[in-house]
Amino acid sequence: MAAQYAISGTTAKGISASVERGVSEGVLAPGATLPPVRRLADELGVSPGTVATAYKELRARGIVVTRGRGGTVVAPASAVASRRPPKVPPGLRDLAGGHPDPALLPLMVPPSRLSPARSHRSTPRLARLEEAVREWLRPDGIPVEHVTFAHGALDLIGRLLSVELRPGDAVAVEDPGYHHLLDLVTALGLRMVPVAVDEEGMHPDALRQALRAGARAVVLSPRAQNPYGGCFSEERRDALAVVLAEEPDVLLVENDHASAVADAPLWTLTGAGRTRWVHVRTVSKFLGTDLRWAAAACDPVTLARHDGRMLLTSGWVSHLLQETVLGLLCDADTRALVARARETYALRRAALLLRLREHGIEAHGASGMNLWVPVRDESAVVNGLRSHGWWVAAGARFRLAAGPGVRISAAELDPADAIRLAAVFAAVLDESQATYGG
């Protein structure tokens, strides 16, 4: 089988990518034998050590296995292969699927609304929802040839990082950044490299330093950055693209978590010029906090790696959930409510920014629902506001090397409340300053 597929590449990374591509496309089937190290090295004009390194990387990622004298073969359940059941031939009664009788299930999408194949593993995504996602992403300039679904943004990001990286590898993350993401990276045994942010997102120079420090993946938010509230300008996007072009094989994860209610245009880093990328969007911020679903567009290698690992774990995203999301995305009343939410959040965020600045308080929040307020003593401010009936988030859990601050979520704060909160905040800061002696 391997002889029918021309493995290419002049580096270990290129050779391993070529083999992986053959596996993900189904040309190299499970059990297919790869050429011996020395023979492939002679064919490609590289050293045996280069091929050996490529095979080692493929073994570490679960794409191939070594069977002693049997050589190196494609793994029976490769991390990028889709071992989905075959389609049921027309006219046959399916007794192979292992499924219960739909008529005896209390929760079941009507068969008329599903594809002819009953196996969720063979058809994990509803075609109509795939097309709706493409229509959602395409106007923002995101390539939509390859799309997939997950159980939320963190589910997708965690799956990709676990497939792409090994314990000890470095990931460039925003600082301050989303605390659940920081916890996830740590739990995966990965090393975080903090990248400073401002109201336009990641600093290009800081990102360059992180890449030079060995970061193999970058996770960032193009708008509604949590907790700082930053959003890319076109100029910042372009500057970051120049930096990322220096490391084309680094995985770029663009987390557009607040998309429809971010109140800012999307300046995406995905697509042209990027070898490895994924753009992920969730609906929990504008359709329902308990609606654990995310859509992603990505390059074909990333798609194969993500879906291959999902097939081995949860298998697919519930079709019941997919039908719910599809119905909401296509509903005119829902769209109108989302538009009103976007305008309301922008108004409330702007009102609090204005009131804080009227008191001389520095605050940041160019998009989204959150504001970041730098403070000298987080505990003093949090406890001081608490004594006046307000509860805000201490910044410690969001930051790595960044200075102290607090995060205020303004989504439910009307303009009248913003006046009162800003006044109390100013008084608390005065008390905190006095504690420090001015």
CATH of residue 144 = 3.40.640.10
CATH of residue 346 = 3.90.1150.10
Name the domain boundary from 299, 332, 365: 332
Please check whether residue 342 lies inside any domain of the structure.
yes
Cβ atoms within 10 Å, residue 62? 17
Percentage of the chain with pLDDT > 70? 88
Check whether 282 has a pLDDT greater than 80. Answer: yes
Tokens 């049921």, residue?
88
- Cα 198 from Cα 201, distance rounded (Å): 5
Check whether 329 has a pLDDT greater than 70. Answer: yes
CATH of residue 30 = 1.10.10.10
Mean pLDDT of the 308-331 span: 91
Residue 297 shares a structural domain with residue 367: no
Please check whether residue 82 lies inside any domain of the structure.
no
Please give the backbone phi and psi of residue 147, each rounded to the nearest 5 degrees, phi first.
-130, 155
pLDDT at 211: 97
Check whether 114 has a pLDDT greater than 60. Answer: no
**pTM beyond 0.75, yes or no:** yes
Please check whether residue 1 lies inside any domain of the structure.
no
Name the domain boundary from 306, 332, 358: 332
pLDDT at 417: 94
Give residue 323's Cα distance to chain centre. 22
Residue 130 shares a structural domain with residue 168: yes
Reported as a single tens digit per residue, the pLDDT across 140-155 is: 999 999 999 999 999 9
Name the domain boundary from 332, 367, 401: 332
Q: Which residues face 197 on adjacent strands?
A: 202
Please check whether residue 35 lies inside any domain of the structure.
yes
- Integer angstrom CA distances of residue 151 from 155, 182, 368, 413: 6, 18, 22, 29
Segments forming the whole domain that contains residue 48: 12-74
Q: What integer best gives the mean pLDDT of the chain?
A: 88
Residue 305 shares a structural domain with residue 346: no
Please check whether residue 42 lies inside any domain of the structure.
yes
Residue 306 shares a structural domain with residue 338: no
Residue 58 shares a structural domain with residue 194: no
Lowest mean pLDDT segment, chosen from 33-37, 121-125, 283-287, 414-418: 121-125
Residue 322 shares a structural domain with residue 343: no
Please check whether residue 243 lies inside any domain of the structure.
yes
3-state SS of 351-376? HHHHHHHHCCCCCECCCCCEEEEECC
User: What tokens appear for 268 in the block?
Assistant: 């995406």
Please check whether residue 85 lies inside any domain of the structure.
no
Residue 273 shares a structural domain with residue 289: yes
Residue 156 shares a structural domain with residue 299: yes
- Integer angstrom CA distances of residue 311 from 14, 27, 122, 124, 316: 26, 19, 10, 9, 7
Reported as a single tens digit per residue, the pLDDT across 213-231 is: 999 999 999 999 999 999 9
pLDDT at 2: 45
Reported as a single tens digit per residue, the pLDDT across 338-393 is: 999 999 999 999 999 999 999 999 999 999 999 999 999 999 999 999 999 999 99
Number of domains in the chain: 3
Please check whether residue 296 lies inside any domain of the structure.
yes
Residue 199 shares a structural domain with residue 120: yes
Residue 279 shares a structural domain with residue 345: no
pLDDT at 88: 67
Residue 22 shares a structural domain with residue 38: yes
Residue 134 shares a structural domain with residue 222: yes
